[in-house]
A and B are shown apart, each in its own frame.
Chain A
Amino acid sequence: MSGFKLFVTFFRIGALNEMQYRVNFFVQLFQSLLALATGLFGLALVFEHTTHLGGWSRHELLAVMGVHILMGGLIRTTIQPNMERLMGDVQEGTLDFALTKPADAQLIVSVREVRIWQTVDMAMGLIVLLVAVLHIQSQIGVWQALAFVAALLMGGLMIYSFWLMLTTGAFWVIRMENIIELFQGVYQAGRWPVGIYPDWLRTGLTFLVPVAFAVTVPAEALTARLTPDVLLGAAALTALLLFVARRFWKFGLRRYSGASA
């Protein structure tokens, strides 16, 4: 059975499950709208006092915000719920059930959960992005669009690798819940292009927590800022992170002795 089919199956089960709670869709929509309103207000406030922020215009920053919401929605739809469940499984000893299944363990623990109502944020991010792009009025050709999609995919993969490495830490340090709070705090930094942060912080946001690649780089692709070597660098880093995350996961798994009866 291919990994893709496994993903689709789990996605269908997750979707059917959440379809039972339709009111949650409106709750999610309301919360997403509030978050969007707050973000727009913050942006408007900044541009009440200035015309450019770190070389970015108002609509270019709107594009950054769109990517930030879109990526945040993606993280909360699939990456974060799976990793949260993995943490819980390690704590309670129920990970054994996933490990005994006849498929790659990393694949299983990465596709089991899906929160479809969080896709509201992805849709909203896309709308914001679209509005921003229409206002920027720079010519977006096929290549820019392709670079954007590629950068977005690679950013998602990097965030996934980062999360997997963090969560693998649960094999040693059982209690990891506060890590989630920490990540969400740091991810907020991606709302603004990383170029405005001081050097030490920018380095951290690029390599320690790949927020820069997840949000700023895709936005750069849409605003004619992206150079081919940054994209190539992103590809190399994605491959490296995926590789390291897999090795670390396997290493942690070897150490894990199971906790269930």
Chain B
Amino acid sequence: MRTLVDLYRGTMRIAVIEQFQYRVANYFYMIGMIAEPVIYLVVWSTVARAQGGSVGGYTPGAFAAYYIVWTLVRNMNIVLTPYAWERRIQRGQLSGELMRPVHPLHFDLAFFMGWKVVAIALWLPIAAILIAAFQPTFSTTPLGVAGFAVALWGGFLVRFFLMWALGMLTFWTTRVSAVFELYFTVELLFSGRLVPLSLMPEWAQQVAGVLPFKWAFGYPIETLIGQLTPEQILTGLAMQAFWILVGIVIVGGVWRAAVRRFSAVGN
């Protein structure tokens, strides 16, 4: 157990140093990402104003708050892309990783956790600019802040494990892009990334309720900006824990089957 903690600390430290070195590239990437929420924000603020000030419980200021926190959550939601598995298997990198005495998942998890520390640090100035430009109104509670601090990382873990499991499809077929794209589309619609879920029709909200996506995206945002009651915040944390557990179980099962199928190519 101690060695595992050391492994995490070491890998995270390397990731932090490495990503700070590429801070300009990181910034370009983050700025390119801002266009998407700004577009949504402008569209929905326009709708809210046309409807006499608010739509679905959101005023233009609340939309601004939603989509500004969105940018941080989006960054936290970036985990190992399932496409990375193609490379890993094609180039035989996986063979080397299998030789190690610990599960390769630990290296990925620690690396991305370290990167997230950098992402949060780099995000702060961007948030300041967005706040100045769009004047959000937060109705944040102390419980909301505390809940958000946990939910932000909880959301990261939810997505991390599900994506890791999805990527392992590559062990069975090489034509994976269609499946991945379909997954991403469903995720976009039912996570709260496109629009706060309370603006969706009733049926869509019900679908979103049984899917894991909103616990990784919309829920942390709503926690911070004050759209949730204390009970909803606590239930949400429990739901995150549930989906993390589901993710771990799927990863464990699929991994065992996948490694049995895998025959190495390359070095």
Give chain A's interface residues, CB within 8 Å of chain B: 27, 30-31, 34, 37-38, 41-42, 45-46, 48-50, 52-54, 175, 178-179, 181-182, 184-186, 188-189, 191-192, 196-198, 201
Subset of 21 A-B contacts with CB under 8 Å: A27-B178, A30-B178, A30-B181, A31-B177, A38-B188, A45-B195, A45-B200, A46-B44, A49-B56, A50-B50, A54-B46, A178-B25, A185-B32, A185-B33, A189-B38, A189-B39, A192-B42, A196-B42, A196-B43, A198-B42, A201-B38
CA of A181 to CA of B55 in the docked complex: distance in angstroms?
32
Whether the pair B201, A48 counts as a contact (CB closer than 8 A) is yes
CA of A108 to CA of B35 in the docked complex: distance in angstroms?
32
- Known: A30-B181, A185-B35. Contact between A46 and B47, CB under 8 A? yes
Whether the pair B181, A42 counts as a contact (CB closer than 8 A) is no
Whether the pair B39, A192 counts as a contact (CB closer than 8 A) is yes
CA of A33 to CA of B245 in the docked complex: distance in angstroms?
34
15 additional A-B pairs beyond A41-B189, A45-B200, A191-B39, beta carbons within 8 Å, are A27-B177, A38-B188, A38-B194, A45-B199, A53-B43, A178-B25, A178-B32, A182-B28, A182-B32, A188-B35, A188-B39, A189-B35, A192-B42, A196-B42, A201-B38
B residues near A52, Cβ cutoff 8 Å: 50
| A139 CB to nearest B CB, Å | 28
| A59 CB to nearest B CB, Å | 17
| A253 CB to nearest B CB, Å | 25
| A52 CB to nearest B CB, Å | 7
| A118 CB to nearest B CB, Å | 15
| A147 CB to nearest B CB, Å | 27
Whether the pair B36, A185 counts as a contact (CB closer than 8 A) is yes
Binary flags per residue of B183-204, CB closer than 8 Å to A gives 1, else 0: 0010011000011000111000
A residues near B31, Cβ cutoff 8 Å: 182
Majority secondary structure, A binding face: helix
Q: Of residues 52 to 76 in B, which have CB atoms within 8 Å of A's CB atoms? A: 55-56
CA of A31 to CA of B31 in the docked complex: distance in angstroms?
25
Whether the pair B28, A181 counts as a contact (CB closer than 8 A) is yes
CA of A191 to CA of B35 in the docked complex: distance in angstroms?
12
CA of A48 to CA of B43 in the docked complex: distance in angstroms?
13
| B31 CB to nearest A CB, Å | 7
B residues near A189, Cβ cutoff 8 Å: 35, 38-39
B residues near A201, Cβ cutoff 8 Å: 38, 42
- Check: B182 CB closer than 8 A to any chain A CB: yes
Majority secondary structure, B binding face: helix
Whether the pair A38, B25 counts as a contact (CB closer than 8 A) is no
CA of A27 to CA of B176 in the docked complex: distance in angstroms?
10
Closest chain B residue, CB of each to CB of A182: B32
CA of A52 to CA of B178 in the docked complex: distance in angstroms?
35
| B32 CB to nearest A CB, Å | 4
- Check: B228 CB closer than 8 A to any chain A CB: no
Whether the pair B39, A181 counts as a contact (CB closer than 8 A) is no
B residues near A178, Cβ cutoff 8 Å: 25, 28-29, 32
| A26 CB to nearest B CB, Å | 9
B residues near A34, Cβ cutoff 8 Å: 181-182, 185
B residues near A191, Cβ cutoff 8 Å: 39
A residues near B201, Cβ cutoff 8 Å: 48
- Check: B51 CB closer than 8 A to any chain A CB: yes
B residues near A197, Cβ cutoff 8 Å: 42
Closest chain B residue, CB of each to CB of A37: B185
CA of A200 to CA of B51 in the docked complex: distance in angstroms?
24
- Known: A49-B199, A178-B28, A178-B32. Contact between A192 and B43, CB under 8 A? yes
| A250 CB to nearest B CB, Å | 27
| B204 CB to nearest A CB, Å | 9
- Check: B34 CB closer than 8 A to any chain A CB: yes
CA of A77 to CA of B200 in the docked complex: distance in angstroms?
35
| A41 CB to nearest B CB, Å | 6
CA of A40 to CA of B62 in the docked complex: distance in angstroms?
25
Whether the pair A186, B35 counts as a contact (CB closer than 8 A) is yes
B residues near A179, Cβ cutoff 8 Å: 28
CA of A69 to CA of B188 in the docked complex: distance in angstroms?
19
CA of A50 to CA of B32 in the docked complex: distance in angstroms?
29
CA of A182 to CA of B51 in the docked complex: distance in angstroms?
33
- Known: A30-B178, A45-B195, A54-B46. Contact between A38 and B189, CB under 8 A? yes
A residues near B177, Cβ cutoff 8 Å: 27, 31
Closest chain B residue, CB of each to CB of A200: B133
Closest chain B residue, CB of each to CB of A189: B39
